[in-house]
Structure 1
Amino acid sequence: MRNSNKQSFIYGTLILLAAGIVNRMLGFIPRIVLPRLIGAEGVGLYQLGYPFFLVLVTVIAGGIPLAVAKMIAEAEGKGKKERSRQILHSSLGLSVGLGLLFTAISLAIAPWIAHEVLTDSRVYLTLIAMTPMLSIVAVSAVYRGYFQGMQNMIPSALSSVLETVIRIFFMLYFSWLLLPKGMAYAAAGAMLGVTVGELAGMLVLLVQYRLTVSKPADNSSEQDLNPSNEGNPDHTDQGVIRRLLRISIPVTGGRLVGSLSYLLESIITARSLAMAGVATAVATAQYGSLQGMVIPLLLLPGALTTALAVSLVPSLAEAAARKDSRSIHKRIHQALRLALVTGAPFAVLMYVLADPLCTLLYGNPDTAPMLRMMVPFSLFMYVQPPLQATLQAMERPGTALFNTLAGAVVKIMLILGLASRPEYGITGALIAIIVNSILVTLLHGYSVIKLVSLRLQTRDLFKIGAAMTIMGAGAKYVYLHSPYPGGAQWIHFILASALGFSLYIGVSLLTGLFSRQDLKKLPLIRRWL
């Protein structure tokens, strides 16, 4: 039985991982198409409203899926089906109540946020368009937690993929439909598309639940609440809600730090640019270029490092339980090396081919200088998730939280001090984000070194640097001296990228950065070797 559970866990993890990769790939479609449709200014209006949505969603549903999953799993482990239903119904009552409450609050304060807190009142329609989402997300969070507690990951995966597909279609459709009415309506249309996607995801979960409960129950495992527990206050609806809050509030608090930091960044950046004398429309467009185009492009290689961080936690926790310091060091080195080796070629490509990349993806070459300025520091972003995962696996989440908070405070102070000065403007916000990435990564690295007495392998850094330099020179040369001088820009870009990656892999193999055996572990490459 234990073996079966382990297989079920691994299978479920793979399902969620696959869904996450699909969602990340699909999610980049609107990042490419939306700027071409509504421009940097429209993207800026959307991005100004989005942080408020994230904060409200974090408050409503930040830790609820985890808490529901934990409580459902405990009840199912004891064979108490009725207890599971009680947990589900009580959780729904709490979540829907919070969703409706914050929907009303959001509608009431939307005019004040648009006109007083932010510098562009056109964001009002975007704020209104997001309010129906709050109750929808509240319901979805509970059902996701329910299915995870039942160790059935398929409904969550199906829901997230369908939600992404529907969201992309309606974001683009509503933006296009409302664009003739003005930029504010187009941005609100994009947010309305997100709402439709969330609704579709919720409906998938509801249908899956109906199909699940309509199946004949196994009478041998069906049990009502144990009579001996009827007087237990934890088995009343109020007791369920109290325990749900005890579990979810700390998780929500941790996630709220990131959401609030993002919100403050958007508010302070907009206000600082206004103080610098930047016109409202220009400031909104600059913020849209930064948060809607440059940052998502920089974080694209981070999909692998995020997945790596997730898998690193149980691996390190297991080694720590055995007090196997050698395995701990080995796995940390492997994770950091993999993060750097996979992120480095993308960083080179984004730096040397920034102009054609931004033109081909967004139709906006003006974003290239921002991308080129941030790319050299992107490697700090790529190694940050494994370092943070190490601290969490070694039971130091407080240290990770402190480091993140310190970085957020410094970032906000720098935005205030630099972006508000005319000679810096949006460049001040870029500097603040760069300093934040470096500071948090160095703090995480120092904490890990101090915690496990880790020694860094500097030889790998020199090898990566050599591979990056040769790749960059080769890619730039081919792009400027293409064998097809009359060809389209995308042909030059593909040729330069292909040669660049080939050079990177070749140099890495020659220097021993990774071996032929490492490549054989990759399913798509194994068949060719």
Structure 2
Amino acid sequence: MILLAAGLINRLLGFVPRIALPRMIGAEGVGLIQLVYPFLIVLLTIIAGGVPLAVSKLVAEADSCGDSAAVKRIVRSAMTVAVTAGMAAAGICIVLADWISTVIMTDSRVHTAFMTMIPALPLVAVSSVWRGYFQGKQNMIPTAFSSTTETMVRIVLTLLLAALLLPYGIEAAAAGGMLGLVAGEAAGLLVLWRQASIERKREGPVSSGESESLTRLEPSDRKVYRKLFGIAIPVTGSRLIGSLSYLLESILTARSLVAAGLATAEATAQYGALQGMVIPLLLLPGALTYSLAVSLVPSLSESAALGDWSGIHKRLHQSMRLAVVTGAPFIVLMSLMAEPICLLLYGDDSMAGMLRWLSPIAIFLYMQAPLQAALQALNRPGTALFNTFAGAAVKLALIVQLATRPELGIYGAIIAIGVNIVLVTLLHWISTARLTGFRMLPMDFVKVTAAMIVMSAVAMWIWNRRWLPADSLNLVSSGMAGVLVYILLLIAMRLIDRHDAARIPVVGRLFR
């Protein structure tokens, strides 16, 4: 719930630049940023993709045994790996920047933005270790505070720098947006470093014997490195497939749209609308699924070590039910009210059709993160890797086949993305069920579906009446009324009960 609160704040705050940037630099400028961003994601996945989970898992295991020396070895070893990888990646990017921006990219104007994002690589590498450490300690507050700080600094500086550099052209404005991202990562790292310093003071000084052992390489260090790489490499591989898929998707989609007859600038603008405006709306409820995924890893790892399969089933059922229940009302609103939502947020409803097509598929997206976290926590990262690879291969093949057709265009890419989401989630579900014997209760889905239908009717009835003078007010009122009816129905059907409410921090005591 702590991560959820921070995640919701970050997602909501994150919509400030999502809304303001298209109005400021247009879909074409957003498209330039979206062409660079997949490269950044791939590089960050390579240098830090599996590090937080590996550190979290190993720290949780060592901490449960009270082995503080092992915890320090884990953090030191992980920091060495992360810093080395971050600096090496930054150096390679500087050397290859011209080639990447002129040969691989579909639009050479991304060069300045690409160079601007390079300092983020070592910053994120170091942050990933500290986040993994605090999550392994099951202390989610530093991670939440750091991510919120990063988001706030990024938003302010992204908009400020993009506005200041806009007179110099769209290319410069896009670079300003990326520079704001780098500044946000630096601020987030500063928060984590400060919290780590406080923790070290609280734990007291290191003994002379322990300090001496930590300054030389011992056989136990090699064991830590083997464990780190044993967990991090498969997890990184799984995430790298997703990141490379994202990168290839950006390249293939832009090239396919050009092949379908669009000009390069128009192809960049359409892809920018899809990835910079539509997908972020779909990912808004993902704040919860991300929080569930992060907290599931140490929890399931501990239950698996104790052989507590009933506890594993309980945690999985709680996570999946929460993912479905919280994602469902967003799907209803985005499907029924795509045009007014896009018009309100972006001042343009041309991408509303994309949102309406992808909204029903989003329920699978919300279930995907907890299922993947379960496979990783239960020592099956290779299975998650294969499932992700299969989905990515199908998606890229479909993009080439469908997006090149003039009658489909960008909707060919949307179909491919939807197929990928459904396929990967179903494969994760089958793998988790075979591994744990976990089964979702069919009546849960029936109840949620019934509540969604009633919510749809209520929201549309209020929207069609247009009682308030502004469409934005009518949209908010119909959405809030629909969500209220949805929650009341969940309570009536016992999908939410007093025990669920009692787990919520602060306000939970009212239901105990």
- Do the aligned partners of residues 245 and 388 (structure 1) sit closer, same or farther apart at CA in structure 2, a change above 3 Å counting? closer
Q: Does 1:120 align with 2:104?
A: no
- Length, aligned pairs only: 509
Q: Could you say which residue in structure 2 is the equivalent of 1:462?
A: 446
Q: Could you say which residue in structure 2 is the equivalent of 1:505?
A: 487
Q: Does 1:368 align with 2:355?
A: no
Q: Does 1:438 align with 2:425?
A: no
Whether the aligned pair in 2 keeps the contact of 1:234 and 1:243 (CA below 8 Å) is no
In structure 2, give the amino acid aligned to 1:223: S
Q: Could you say which residue in structure 2 is the equivalent of 1:58?
A: 45
For 2:195 and 2:32, the matched residues in 1 are separated by 36
Secondary structure at the residue paired with 2:467?
coil
How big is each residue's C-alpha offset from its partner over 1:184-221, in whole Å with a ceiling of 9 and x where there is no partner? Answer: 211111001111112223334455556666x59846x6
Is the deviation greater in 299-308 or in 444-453?
Answer: 444-453
For 1:182 and 1:290, the matched residues in 2 are separated by 23
For 1:320 and 1:85, the matched residues in 2 are separated by 24
Whether the aligned pair in 2 keeps the contact of 1:30 and 1:172 (CA below 8 Å) is yes
Is the deviation greater in 54-63 or in 342-351?
Answer: 54-63
For 1:191 and 1:157, the matched residues in 2 are separated by 22
Q: Does 1:254 align with 2:238?
A: yes
For 1:328 and 1:68, the matched residues in 2 are separated by 21
In structure 1, give the amino acid aligned to 2:358: M
Q: Could you say which residue in structure 2 is the equivalent of 1:223?
A: 208
For 1:321 and 1:87, the matched residues in 2 are separated by 22
Following superposition, the deviation at residue 17 of structure 1 comes to 5.5
In structure 2, give the amino acid aligned to 1:440: V
In structure 1, give the amino acid aligned to 2:392: A
How big is each residue's C-alpha offset from its partner over 1:369-418, in whole Å with a ceiling of 9 and x where there is no partner? Answer: 10011111111112222333343444433222221111111011101111
In structure 1, give the amino acid aligned to 2:93: S
Secondary structure at the residue paired with 1:289?
helix
Whether the aligned pair in 1 keeps the contact of 2:459 and 2:481 (CA below 8 Å) is yes
Whether the aligned pair in 2 keeps the contact of 1:80 and 1:223 (CA below 8 Å) is no
Following superposition, the deviation at residue 448 of structure 1 comes to 3.3
Q: Could you say which residue in structure 2 is the equivalent of 1:6?
A: none
For 2:26 and 2:153, the matched residues in 1 are separated by 22
**Aligned alpha-carbon RMSD (Å):** 3.7
In structure 1, give the amino acid aligned to 2:283: L
Secondary structure at the residue paired with 1:341?
helix
Q: Does 1:102 align with 2:84?
A: no
Equivalent in 30, 33, 55 of residue 46 of structure 1 = 33
Whether the aligned pair in 1 keeps the contact of 2:14 and 2:151 (CA below 8 Å) is yes
Q: How does 1:146-185 map to 2 (within 5 A)?
A: 155-185=142-172
For 1:431 and 1:335, the matched residues in 2 are separated by 28
In structure 2, give the amino acid aligned to 1:367: M
How big is each residue's C-alpha offset from its partner over 1:430-470, in whole Å with a ceiling of 9 and x where there is no partner? Answer: 00011111111222233334444455533333332222222
Question: Which of structures 1 and 2 has the bigger CA Rg?
Answer: 1
Is the deviation greater in 137-146 or in 108-117?
Answer: 137-146
TM-score for the superposition, normalised by structure 2:
0.86
Q: Does 1:492 align with 2:474?
A: yes
- Do the aligned partners of residues 224 and 119 (structure 1) sit closer, same or farther apart at CA in structure 2, a change above 3 Å counting? same
For 2:382 and 2:115, the matched residues in 1 are separated by 36
Is the deviation greater in 96-105 or in 414-423?
Answer: 96-105
How big is each residue's C-alpha offset from its partner over 1:225-246, in whole Å with a ceiling of 9 and x where there is no partner? Answer: 488999974378x998777656
Q: How does 1:1-400 map to 2 (within 5 A)?
A: 18-65=5-52, 70=58, 80=69, 84=72, 88=76, 95-144=82-131, 155-207=142-194, 215=201, 218=204, 222-225=207-210, 233-234=218-219, 248-313=232-297, 329=313, 331-400=315-384
For 2:432 and 2:264, the matched residues in 1 are separated by 43
Whether the aligned pair in 2 keeps the contact of 1:55 and 1:263 (CA below 8 Å) is yes
For 1:207 and 1:316, the matched residues in 2 are separated by 29
For 2:489 and 2:17, the matched residues in 1 are separated by 35
Identity across matched positions, percent: 52
Following superposition, the deviation at residue 33 of structure 1 comes to 2.1
- Do the aligned partners of residues 457 and 363 (structure 1) sit closer, same or farther apart at CA in structure 2, a change above 3 Å counting? same
For 1:451 and 1:66, the matched residues in 2 are separated by 20
For 2:366 and 2:202, the matched residues in 1 are separated by 48
What runs of 5+ residues in structure 2 fail to find an aligned partner? none
For 2:511 and 2:62, the matched residues in 1 are separated by 47
Following superposition, the deviation at residue 516 of structure 1 comes to 6.4
Following superposition, the deviation at residue 496 of structure 1 comes to 1.1
Following superposition, the deviation at residue 316 of structure 1 comes to 5.1
For 1:343 and 1:148, the matched residues in 2 are separated by 25
Secondary structure at the residue paired with 1:422?
coil
- Do the aligned partners of residues 466 and 170 (structure 1) sit closer, same or farther apart at CA in structure 2, a change above 3 Å counting? same
Is the deviation greater in 291-300 or in 68-77?
Answer: 68-77
- Do the aligned partners of residues 473 and 241 (structure 1) sit closer, same or farther apart at CA in structure 2, a change above 3 Å counting? closer
For 1:330 and 1:210, the matched residues in 2 are separated by 36
- Do the aligned partners of residues 375 and 66 (structure 1) sit closer, same or farther apart at CA in structure 2, a change above 3 Å counting? closer
Following superposition, the deviation at residue 286 of structure 1 comes to 0.9
Following superposition, the deviation at residue 163 of structure 1 comes to 2.0
For 1:78 and 1:456, the matched residues in 2 are separated by 37
For 1:502 and 1:150, the matched residues in 2 are separated by 37
- Do the aligned partners of residues 114 and 517 (structure 1) sit closer, same or farther apart at CA in structure 2, a change above 3 Å counting? same
In structure 2, give the amino acid aligned to 1:503: V
- Do the aligned partners of residues 281 and 515 (structure 1) sit closer, same or farther apart at CA in structure 2, a change above 3 Å counting? same
Secondary structure at the residue paired with 1:224?
helix
Q: Does 1:424 align with 2:411?
A: no
For 2:302 and 2:81, the matched residues in 1 are separated by 36
What runs of 5+ residues in structure 1 fail to find an aligned partner? 1-13
For 1:429 and 1:193, the matched residues in 2 are separated by 29
How big is each residue's C-alpha offset from its partner over 1:329-384, in whole Å with a ceiling of 9 and x where there is no partner? Answer: 55544433332222111111111111111111122211111001111111111222
- Do the aligned partners of residues 227 and 306 (structure 1) sit closer, same or farther apart at CA in structure 2, a change above 3 Å counting? closer
Following superposition, the deviation at residue 295 of structure 1 comes to 1.0
Is the deviation greater in 364-373 or in 179-188?
Answer: 179-188
How big is each residue's C-alpha offset from its partner over 1:47-80, in whole Å with a ceiling of 9 and x where there is no partner? Answer: 1101111111222233445566747996995565
- Do the aligned partners of residues 327 and 143 (structure 1) sit closer, same or farther apart at CA in structure 2, a change above 3 Å counting? closer
Is the deviation greater in 113-122 or in 15-24?
Answer: 15-24
In structure 2, give the amino acid aligned to 1:53: L
Whether the aligned pair in 2 keeps the contact of 1:79 and 1:222 (CA below 8 Å) is no
Secondary structure at the residue paired with 1:277?
coil
Whether the aligned pair in 2 keeps the contact of 1:80 and 1:222 (CA below 8 Å) is no
Whether the aligned pair in 2 keeps the contact of 1:448 and 1:454 (CA below 8 Å) is yes
